[in-house]
Structure 1
Amino acid sequence: MKTSTSRFEVPVLLGTQTLFNIGFYAVVPFLAVVLANDFLLAGAGVGLILGIRTFAQQGLFLAGGSLADRFGARRMILIGCAVRAAGFFTLAASLSLGDPKLWLFILGTLLTGFGGALFSPGLSILVGAAQTARDRGQPTGAKRATLFAWLSVTGEIGAVAGPLVGAALWDWGFAAVAGFGAIFFIAIGLFLAAALRRYAPEGTSPDYAGTRAKRQAQPGSLRRCLADRKFVAFCALHASDLLAYNQLYLAIPLELERTGLPTQWLGLVFAWISVLTLGLQLPIAWLAARIGAAATLRCGYVSSALGFGVLAFLPATAFGENTAAVRILCAVTLLALGHMSVHPAALSLVPGFAGHRGTGSYFGLLSSCGGLAVLLGNLLVGWLLSQAGQGHIPGFLPWLVLIIPLVVASWLGASLVRRSGLQTQGA
């Protein structure tokens, strides 16, 4: 395929991320409300079910990536859309078939997670292939933001628009919201079935090409990925980023509560993160393209660590009386800047680690390590926060547990990338 073909492909891939997030965020933010109000579950039960949903997605990324290497990225994207649509239909059915059925609701949440585990690695494969084709076609020394940085921006647009769509449909009930999500993912699948049928970026790997003979040229991609010690080490180090960013859903809300700020502040925190992502993701990627991947990773991990350092070592009145919110927004800003730096950079490095091998397992392992770190790390951080709240341990200890992996990643991760010769053009 020629470069002109990949130019057609890129808007489709970036637009797909927006559509995925619109459909996802139109439904998923309301799951906790339904579990509490319709199924009358306590907070622990709500957290357990939502945690299982998250792990069903993040934890199975490795399986989804391996399947994409074996059967093709396009095929797994379409299957993933169908599975997520089935999950949303199941959620709707749990409330519309007589009395609310919790087992059906749980099944629906698992299907939504599994659907994401199928199509997200496939999308990353195609974006990585398009990035490789774009890098090959641009002049030597040209520096610009990677497609993964653009993917973060287009995804954030969907994350902002999705809850607004769900809220607009809420008057018809959650079954209508979930039904919309199911129909929306069916429409996405039909669109992608046509849009991705003939087009593949130049230099794309056999997992996209689609013929059985080419796909069979990638046996054992999962085994080779797990045997790649450098990449496994990089995944383990980079897992600190997802664990850190996930504290927006765990530690930051608890800190807001501890400092006596109203719950409405949480909405403002997420609105501020959306503003930062939409306004600064591309400038950060532009700068990262000039300083290189290793320096970008080091700066990003340190930025996130500094964010937790603000919470660990600066008191709530550090910026004056009644400025606890300023302290938290300062920490959140540093955390968001760190994530915006290292997340696209890490994704852009995956094709370099994979070489000529199937990239699906590599993208999957990167995400699954992060999911496992969140599952285990949140248990420890949540317990430490509860103990610190009762005065049993120093208040800085939970934040220190989050700071240390980031500092180690900034030191070892950047060095690993530099030694591996993977100084990509962008981040």
Structure 2
Amino acid sequence: MAPPLRSETSTLLGAQLVFNVGFYAVVPFLTSALSGEYGMGAAAVGLILGARTFSQQGMFLVGGMLADHWGPKRSILLGCLVRIAGYVTLALATDFSLFLLGAVLTGAGGALFSPALESQLSRADGTEQPQSGKRRSVFVWLALTGEFGALVGPLIGAALLGWGFDAALAFGTGIFCVVTLVLWFRLPASPRPKRQTGDGGGRRTGLAFPEAAKDRRFFLFCVLVSVNMVAYNQLYFTIPLELNRLGLGEAWLAGLFLLASVLTLLLQLPVAAGVQRLGEARAMSVGFVLLALAFVLAATASTMRESGVSAVVILAAAVGLLVLGHMSLTPTILSVIPRFLRSGTAGRGAYYGLAATCGGVGVLLANGTLGFLQSTAGQAGWEPGLSLLLLVALAAAASAVLPFVVPSESAAIRVGTRARTAAVKR
């Protein structure tokens, strides 16, 4: 049983909840606003959404390094301020360039906030040691708290859209202003962590990044698992476009987001238990199969000329499979990354940062490609949604190759033994 949450831990979990409410009240409806209210094409919308995701995922490594340099509190507060600047820019935007800038600032705010919050959360809860039994419980609460925010946010956003997209932006801006003030007073100033390398010296942890970048096996792993992020990002890109094409409004989109959040809240723990029984490599393979099946269904729905119960049911089933695959993949991916480390815990942030960066690059490239294919589909005489078959192929490839890329658990044990031996010698 997890211990009672400390005051600082509760504050951080509450911040994650509010941060997600402010995010999901706005970003899920960005596609509909850009393509509807502002009349942008699919290619432009895809680039804006891809840039937002890339600026967040691609900067996670930078955000973690800044948290180490400044201390987590400063990075958390700066992340809130940058997110506020992003929302204000989106509210004032009248052309593509300003929308792109607002989306990039929105993503950069998350890149500064999230790694700093996770670092401070582990410190506040006394879970800095990798083998601590508390670590899993506190991060499970973080996931569930964030998902509850993802559940409430779209409902608030859908309600505010009756007054226009700017109303949702105003709500998001206001809630981030409030959480910034609360965190300013509630979070204690934290000492800057000591910077060290695997050899026990006092040099910068950033020197470990080339080791992660040169690890070809790990780079292949990052490329393959980036398909998971690309796939889940379609909840905010191609799924809303399909709903628009079928003539279904924001209420249906909010319903699909509600379905995704409810499934996550109800099934995350049972899915995690299933992953433990299957083993990490097999579970990831199954997860990508579920993603492939999800996009087969979504492509099928795109061939329907008119909206109806059957199209909605197919899209709902696609979202269900997408969420199940994502639930089985994301925690598993994060848990196996340390197996690639060659020097104990040194450079761990670089490995996680590289994985997140590959995901951001993948989303940018995939959304740009899918947007281009959907924009030119009419001229080629085929249904725009058939471009989703590209994601089917990517997910199938990841499912087939990943079991041969993930190191065995025995390799991780050997790394841990070497690290403990080196620590004793020091």
Instruction: Label 1:131 to 1:389 Cα distance change in 2 as closer, same or farther (>3 A).
Output: farther
Q: What is residue 68 of structure 1 aligned with on the other side?
A: 67
Q: Deviations over 1:273-296 (max 9, x none)?
A: 122112212221233234332232
Structure 1 residue ranges without an equivalent (≥5): 199-207
Q: What is residue 370 of structure 1 aligned with on the other side?
A: 359
Q: How far off its partner does 1:346 sit?
A: 1.4
> Percent same amino acid at aligned positions?
44
Q: What is residue 53 of structure 1 aligned with on the other side?
A: 52
Q: How far off its partner does 1:363 sit?
A: 2.7
CA contact (8 A) 1:90 1:107 kept: yes
Q: How far off its partner does 1:20 sit?
A: 1.1
Kindly indicate whether residue 142 of structure 2 is the aligned counterpart of residue 156 of structure 1.
Answer: no
Instruction: Label 1:299 to 1:170 Cα distance change in 2 as closer, same or farther (>3 A).
Output: closer
Q: What is residue 274 of structure 2 aligned with on the other side?
A: 287
Kindly indicate whether residue 210 of structure 2 is the aligned counterpart of residue 228 of structure 1.
Answer: no
Instruction: Label 1:148 to 1:284 Cα distance change in 2 as closer, same or farther (>3 A).
Output: farther
Query: What secondary structure does 1:323 align onto?
Result: helix
CA contact (8 A) 2:226 2:362 kept: yes
Q: What is residue 262 of structure 2 aligned with on the other side?
A: 275
- More displaced 10-residue stretch of structure 1: 24-33 or 74-83: 24-33
Instruction: Label 1:389 to 1:234 Cα distance change in 2 as closer, same or farther (>3 A).
Output: same
Q: What is residue 113 of structure 1 aligned with on the other side?
A: 107
- More displaced 10-residue stretch of structure 1: 178-187 or 357-366: 178-187
CA contact (8 A) 2:154 2:254 kept: no
Q: How far off its partner does 1:390 sit?
A: 5.7
Q: Deviations over 1:120-170 (max 9, x none)?
A: 23334456777965873449xxxx976555433322211232244456667
Q: What is residue 204 of structure 1 aligned with on the other side?
A: none
Q: What is residue 400 of structure 2 aligned with on the other side?
A: 411
Give me the whole-angstrom Cα distance separating, in 1, the residues matched to 2:265 and 2:412.
26
Match of 2:131 among 136, 142, 145: 136
Kindly indicate whether residue 239 of structure 2 is the aligned counterpart of residue 252 of structure 1.
Answer: yes
Instruction: Label 1:252 to 1:408 Cα distance change in 2 as closer, same or farther (>3 A).
Output: same
Match of 1:42 among 40, 43, 54: 40
Q: Deviations over 1:181-240 (max 9, x none)?
A: 345334434444555537xxxxxxxxx862466685524243333233333222111011
Query: What secondary structure does 2:188 align onto?
Result: coil
Give me the whole-angstrom Cα distance separating, in 2, the residues matched to 1:190 and 1:72.
18
Instruction: Label 1:28 to 1:304 Cα distance change in 2 as closer, same or farther (>3 A).
Output: closer
- More displaced 10-residue stretch of structure 1: 396-405 or 296-305: 396-405
CA contact (8 A) 2:61 2:352 kept: yes
Q: How far off its partner does 1:73 sit?
A: 3.9
Q: How far off its partner does 1:67 sit?
A: 3.0
Equivalent runs, 1:300-315 vs 2, <5 Å: 300-311=287-298
Instruction: Label 1:269 to 1:369 Cα distance change in 2 as closer, same or farther (>3 A).
Output: same
CA contact (8 A) 1:149 1:281 kept: no
Letter in 1 for 2:276: A
Letter in 1 for 2:107: G
TM-score by length of 2: 0.75
- More displaced 10-residue stretch of structure 1: 402-411 or 181-190: 181-190
Give me the whole-angstrom Cα distance separating, in 2, the residues matched to 1:352 and 1:275.
32
Instruction: Label 1:273 to 1:218 Cα distance change in 2 as closer, same or farther (>3 A).
Output: same
Letter in 1 for 2:213: L
Count the aligned residue pairs. 399
Q: How far off its partner does 1:21 sit?
A: 0.7
Instruction: Label 1:182 to 1:391 Cα distance change in 2 as closer, same or farther (>3 A).
Output: closer
CA contact (8 A) 1:307 1:334 kept: yes
Q: Deviations over 1:73-125 (max 9, x none)?
A: 44322321222233344556x38xxxx79876654443222211212233344
Q: Deviations over 1:274-328 (max 9, x none)?
A: 22112212221233234332232122111111222344579979xxx96233222
Q: What is residue 296 of structure 1 aligned with on the other side?
A: 283
Give me the whole-angstrom Cα distance separating, in 1, the residues matched to 2:369 and 2:72.
36
Instruction: Label 1:274 to 1:224 Cα distance change in 2 as closer, same or farther (>3 A).
Output: same
- More displaced 10-residue stretch of structure 1: 363-372 or 347-356: 347-356
Letter in 2 for 1:116: G
Q: What is residue 350 of structure 2 aligned with on the other side?
A: 361
Query: What secondary structure does 1:136 align onto?
Result: coil
TM-score by length of 1: 0.75
Give me the whole-angstrom Cα distance separating, in 2, the residues matched to 1:236 and 1:193.
38
CA contact (8 A) 1:60 1:114 kept: yes
Q: What is residue 322 of structure 2 aligned with on the other side?
A: 335
Query: What secondary structure does 1:417 align onto?
Result: coil
CA contact (8 A) 1:240 1:406 kept: yes
CA contact (8 A) 1:145 1:286 kept: no
CA contact (8 A) 1:56 1:114 kept: yes
Query: What secondary structure does 1:234 align onto?
Result: helix
CA contact (8 A) 1:297 1:413 kept: yes
CA contact (8 A) 1:261 1:325 kept: no
Q: What is residue 420 of structure 2 aligned with on the other side?
A: none
Give me the whole-angstrom Cα distance separating, in 1, the residues matched to 2:301 and 2:168.
42
Give me the whole-angstrom Cα distance separating, in 1, the residues matched to 2:295 and 2:131.
39
Give me the whole-angstrom Cα distance separating, in 2, the residues matched to 1:195 and 1:10.
11
Q: What is residue 248 of structure 2 aligned with on the other side?
A: 262
Q: How far off its partner does 1:370 sit?
A: 1.3
- More displaced 10-residue stretch of structure 1: 42-51 or 108-117: 42-51
CA contact (8 A) 1:69 1:359 kept: no
Query: What secondary structure does 1:220 align onto?
Result: helix
Letter in 1 for 2:63: G
